[in-house]
Amino acid sequence: RILSLDAAQPFDYETHIKSQHQKSNSLKIALIGFGNFGQFLSKTFLTHHHTLLAHSRTDHSSLASSLGIRFYPDPNDLFEQHPDVVLLSTSILSTQQVLLSLPLQRLKRNTLFVDVLSVKEFPRNLLINNLPHEFDILCTHPMFGPESGKESWAGLPFVYDKVRILDEDDRVSRCEKFLDIFRNEGCRMVEMSCSEHDKYAAGSQFVTHTMGRVLERFGLESSPINTKGYERLLDLVENTRGDSFDLYYGLFMYNRNALEQLERLDLAFEEVKKELFGQLHRVYRKQLFGDTEEEKYFGQKLLGNGAP
Ligand code: NAP
């Protein structure tokens, strides 16, 4: 007769079942690029009981081992561990060079490649063109970073495109297990094509980064009378300050929609300035010449423009 559920049981059944469940859901994930964002992601991945292995250009072995992650300076050794998932978290600018240098022949034929680059069409094409046909491809963009996601990932957007997941139960379930990390953290899961992502992201993310950088150069400072709007601007600078220039430059160079957005931003700034100076000019002329002169001046202007 059991008097208390956990008391003096020779075998903790619940814990056993739980650990079996965790093991069956656990993925062996190889992180390529253990920089700012790779480290940030890995901390949460570990709480989901996945096994993490890492490789990067720089030797991050002591940091990795402090987190419980095995670091492999040589990607050959890493790939001989036969990870289920290879996650690319390299800078946008270096991804092509890194991918082409990886010893893909050491991986299992059934491997899932995932990227988390902040642009999507570029890695999509790169992976399709350079990976063996047997590899699955999932392109993702967690639209948050070490600053904006430091408290929680709940409600933050996670964009993904299942570019190539072969129709086999274990492949489909592996992809879902990977997506579950973000789902279970409460991310807002948005499935969309890579090209759609790039269109939206140029108008939102690239503009956000640009404004953050402009305002940082401008030198925003906190004051005792900050308004809510001003606090938001300070937050914007704070959110983008930690990101590398490589990341920002990658958003510009590897998203074909970014240049147009930069030009629109420039134009909008000029228009706002023109509106201000135009108004100032009118007031100033009124003061100089009075109402009659002002009417004559605008009358002439209209006639000059061919107006009736
Ligand atoms: P990043 O400057 O874009 O990338 C840094 C990573 O790229 C480091 O792991 C670095 O290796 C590696 N790297 C840079 N140049 C390299 C080269 N020539 N050869 C080999 N490796 C090189 O900064 P990040 O913030 O960590 O971003 C990583 C990726 O995540 C990027 O693709 C970015 O678009 C994406 N992402 C970032 C955020 C964010 O908020 N930060 C959010 C979503 C997505 P070492 O450190 O070992 O030298």
pTM, to two decimals: 0.86
- Rounded CA separation 177/185 (Å): 13
Q: Which residue is closest in CA terms to ligand 1's atom 14? A: 91
User: What local confidence, expressed as pLDDT, does residue 122 receive?
Assistant: 98
pLDDT score for 234: 97
List, chain by chain if needed, residues with CB within 6 Å of any ligand 1 atom.
33-38, 56-58, 89-92, 94, 98, 116-118, 142, 145, 243-244, 246-247, 250
Ligand 1: nearest atom to the Cα of 39: 26
Architecture of domain 13-192: 3-Layer(aba) Sandwich (3.40)
- Atom number of ligand 1 nearest to Cα 93: 15
Q: 262-279: string of b/e by CB count within 10 Å (b at 16+)?
A: eeeeeeeeeeeeeeeeee
Token pair, residue 108, equals 């299992």
Dump the DSSP string for 13-45. Answer: HHHHHHHHHHHHH--EEEEE--SHHHHHHHHHH
Test site for ligand 1: of 57, 121, 205, most ligand atoms within 8 A of the Cβ: 57
What's the pLDDT at 120?
98
Q: Give pLDDT, residue 306.
A: 47
Average pLDDT score, the chain:
91
Query: Which residue shows structure tokens 């003061």?
Result: 287
Domain spans of the chain, in order of start: 13-192, 204-276
Residues of the chain with pLDDT under 50: 304, 306, 308
Contact 265, 203 (CB under 8 A): no
Question: Which residue among 74, 87, 247, 248 is best mutated to probe the pocket of ligand 1, counting the most ligand atoms within 8 A of its Cβ?
Answer: 247
